[in-house]
């Protein structure tokens, strides 16, 4: 595999910026990046036109709106979002089994109505900003963290979802239990030189790929770097070493 190819295939850059202008500036600087994530901050600011901007540049799109509501509402949201023709779409596993099933069906319907490919629907197991201590003391969940993440992933899989968003620290266990065809998409990725900030359950890009992650989501280590192209290049080189 050529230099940078693994990063191009497996790294999704999170465009957590406040407006369209900043997003375009970053996308145009990071010309080797093929996959971008649009999350709550950018989508709330720009609406769907940001997706058109990315499509016009032939980029793959992860629409990370993390829907979390009752079954009827998440189904409607997934039906609408699927019409945009995005590649990945998120919902929280904590919506529950009934909502996850309704969302899965609705995403198929929305895509068919719009004549586009359905998105891969993936469920957030447990935000990577939550530590074991916070899970127990703030969220009052009595399970050990790895067991809780596994239960959320299995519920998503049984409900027909294509995969989950999980911490890279849980990838080995989830891959073993959910099999090779289940997508494991990992934020909380931190090169050794990057600040962890609010991420509590992180690994380096190379560690996450070796563990078995399908995609790595990386935001601030690239987007807030003094030189985002150089940050991308360093990550690409680290991944080339394991390719
Ligand atoms: O559990 C989760 C789910 C989603 N995210 C999102 O990924 C990126 C990570 O950005 P960094 O700047 O690399 O921390 C961000 O858009 C989150 O909304 C997550 O971090 N953890």
Rounded Cα gap, residues 211 and 204, in angstroms: 11
Rounded Cα gap, residues 92 and 40, in angstroms: 14
Atom of ligand 1 nearest to the CA of 189: 13
Residue 3 confidence (pLDDT): 67
Span 142-160, pLDDT tens digits: 999 999 999 999 999 999 9
Q: What global pTM score does this model have?
A: 0.98
Q: Which residue is closest in CA terms to ligand 1's atom 11?
A: 219
**Cα separations (Å) of 114 from 79, 80, 106, 117, 239?**
10, 10, 12, 9, 37
> Is 37 annotated among the ligand-binding residues?
yes
| CB distance 218 to ligand 1 below 6 Å | yes
| CB distance 16 to ligand 1 below 6 Å | yes
Neighbouring residues of 22: CB distance < 8 A, sequence distance ≥ 6:
none
Rounded Cα gap, residues 220 and 26, in angstroms: 12
Domain count, the chain: 1
Active site amino acids? 66
Helix 171-178 vs helix 145-158: crossing angle, to nearest 10: 40
Atom of ligand 1 nearest to the CA of 218: 13
Nearest to 101 by CA among 174, 157, 34, 46: 157
E strand segments, 68-202: 88-92, 120-124, 163-165, 183-186
Nearest to 56 by CA among 79, 83, 85, 82: 85
The secondary structure element, H or E, covering residue 191 is none
Span 12-38, pLDDT tens digits: 999 999 999 999 999 999 999 999 999
Classify the complex by whether its ipTM is higher than 0.95, answering yes or no: yes
Say whether 13 sits in a helix, a strand or coil.
Answer: strand
The pLDDT of residue 1 is above 90: no
Ligand 1 pocket check: which of 92, 191, 219, 225 to mutate, most ligand atoms within 8 Å of Cβ?
219
Region 39-61 average pLDDT: 98
Contact 189, 168 (CB under 8 A): yes
| CB distance 168 to ligand 1 below 6 Å | no
Nearest to 56 by CA among 10, 9, 20: 20
The pLDDT of residue 190 is above 80: yes
Handedness of CA 151, 170, 134, 77 (dihedral sign): negative
DSSP, res 84 = T
Q: Are strands 163-165 and 120-124 parallel, antiparallel or unpaired?
A: parallel
Span 159-177, pLDDT tens digits: 999 999 999 999 999 999 9
Nearest to 148 by CA among 219, 88, 188, 201: 201
Ligand 1 pocket check: which of 17, 67, 217, 221 to mutate, most ligand atoms within 8 Å of Cβ?
217
Residue 243 confidence (pLDDT): 85
139: domain CATH number is 3.20.20.70
Q: Can you give the residue range of the structural domain that contains 109?
A: 5-240
Residue 2 confidence (pLDDT): 65
% of the chain surpassing 90 pLDDT:
98
Region of residue 97 (left: phi > 0; alpha: psi -120 to 50; beta: else): alpha
> Is 220 annotated among the ligand-binding residues?
yes
Rounded Cα gap, residues 56 and 90, in angstroms: 23
């Amino acid at each position: 595999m050529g230099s940078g190819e693994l990063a191009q295939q497996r790294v999704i850059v999170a465009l957590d910026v406040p407006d369209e202008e900043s997003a375009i500036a970053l996308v145009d600087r990071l010309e080797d990046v093929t996959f971008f994530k649009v999350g709550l901050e950018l989508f709330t600011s720009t609406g769907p036109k940001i997706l058109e901007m990315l499509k016009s540049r032939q980029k793959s799109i992860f629409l990370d709106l993390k829907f979390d509501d009752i079954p009827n509402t998440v189904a409607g949201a997934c039906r609408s979002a699927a019409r945009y023709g995005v590649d990945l779409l998120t919902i929280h596993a904590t919506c529950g089994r009934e909502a996850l099933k309704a969302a899965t069906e609705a995403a198929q319907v929305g895509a068919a109505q719009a004549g586009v490919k359905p998105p891969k629907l993936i469920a957030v197991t447990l935000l990577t900003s939550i530590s074991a201590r916070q899970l127990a003391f703030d969220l009052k969940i009595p399970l050990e963290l790895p067991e809780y993440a596994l239960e959320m992933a299995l519920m998503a899989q049984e409900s027909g979802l294509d995969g989950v968003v999980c911490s890279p620290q849980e990838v080995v266990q989830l891959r073993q239990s959910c099999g090779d065809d289940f997508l494991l998409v990992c934020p909380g990725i931190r090169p050794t030189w990057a600040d962890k900030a609010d991420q509590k359950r992180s690994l380096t890009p190379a560690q996450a790929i070796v563990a078995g992650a399908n995609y790595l989501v990386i935001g601030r280590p690239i987007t807030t770097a003094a030189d985002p192209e150089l940050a991308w290049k360093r990550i690409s080189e680290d991944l080339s070493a394991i390719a």
